[in-house]
Amino acid sequence: MRQNPVAEPVHRLVPSPAGRLHLVEQGEGPLVLLLHGFPESWYAWRHQLPVLAAAGYRAAAVDVRGYGRSSRPDAVGAYRMLELVEDNAAVVHALGERSAVLVGHDWGATIAATSALVRPEVFRAVALLSVPYTPPGGPRPSEVFSLMGGQDEFYVSYFQSPGRAEAEIEPDVRGWLAGFYAALSADTMPGPEAPDPHFVSPGGRLCDRFPAGPPPAWLGEHDLDVQAGEFERTGFTGALNRYRNMDRDWDDLAGLAGAPLTQPSLFAGGALDASTTWLTAAIEAYGTTLPGLMGAHLLDGCGHWIQQERPEEVNRLLVDWLAALPT
């Protein structure tokens, strides 16, 4: 692994179709865009930025539209996937580059995969963390989610009505985030006998199923303060609007139904993460759906927040993969 002197990270605002996007940049070399998921921000990549920079890359962790210091359009439809794809292309061009590698976690993984699928001339490789690649198409998302959970409501369905989840979260953003992070972390997630925190009981709230007790080991008080401070300032509507566009995305991407992602790719997930256990069939289909796959890794004893729970392992996987990419 090549180690270079690393300058301090730099905060930047760049123009995009959303208005502006905030990013934190560190290092020089080939551009690597880092895309966070829900409910996070650029800060989710704090462990990766200096390591990628030291390995000879220009790493840029973006606040996705609706988050942090990035613009938050009012219209729900402004958060459809194709808008986010164009945001990513705009970042590449605003940074004076013609192409970039994408690394995404959670929703960021799906945004990264779709960006590479729709704009292959800009995005030359893609790494997906926690959420496997599933090609566009299949049943309409709202129909699938309505059938999950029996009498309980799946969290994605719970997030659909504007204002509903916000009313639960925003009175105590810090406490809600701490519980949500704990519910999906390997060392604090509820056991198999406990109610599944991905579902809401009739008349209940999502947080009713969050675990009590200490926060996960990876989440320090300062880390929680940073993440909570962003959402206390912005609210959650922009972040939740991503979930409210899944049927729009299904319509927008109908012409790419079943399309494989052909660029060089990497997948890494937590063995205890529901995102990987529920989508085992998607991982098993990678021979067809990810023909450029260079490695697929399930980290034993790891939950959903993979690059924060296991930063050293994830950093090693990313740096080794980036070094092996064709130039």
Residues with catalytic annotation?
Answer: 106, 304
Q: What are phi and psi of 166, to 5 degrees?
A: -55, -40
**Residue/partner pairs of 71-78 with CB below 8 Å, 24 or more apart:** 71/16, 71/18, 71/19, 71/20, 71/21, 72/234, 72/237, 72/238, 73/18, 73/19, 73/238, 76/162, 76/241, 76/244, 76/245, 77/245, 77/248, 78/18, 78/241
Q: How many CA atoms lie within 13 A of 74 on its CB side?
A: 0
First vs last C-alpha separation in the chain: 17
What token pair was written down for 313? Answer: 């392992």
Please name the residue that has the structure tokens 């399930």: 298
Confirm if 133 and 290 have CB atoms less than 8 A apart. Answer: yes
Q: Regarding beta strands 293-299 and 265-270, do their DSSP bridges make them parallel or antiparallel, or are they unpaired?
A: parallel
Residue type, 16: S
Cβ atoms of 319 and 51 within 8 Å: the answer is yes
φ, ψ for residue 16 (rounded to 5)?
Answer: -155, 170
E-only strand ranges, the chain:
10-16, 19-26, 31-35, 58-62, 100-105, 123-129, 153-154, 199-200, 265-270, 293-299
User: Which residue in 142, 154, 103 sits closest to 263, CA to CA?
Assistant: 103
Cα(309)–Cα(255) distance, integer angstroms: 37
Rounded Cα gap, residues 193 and 96, in angstroms? 52
In the 8-state DSSP scheme, what is residue 210? S
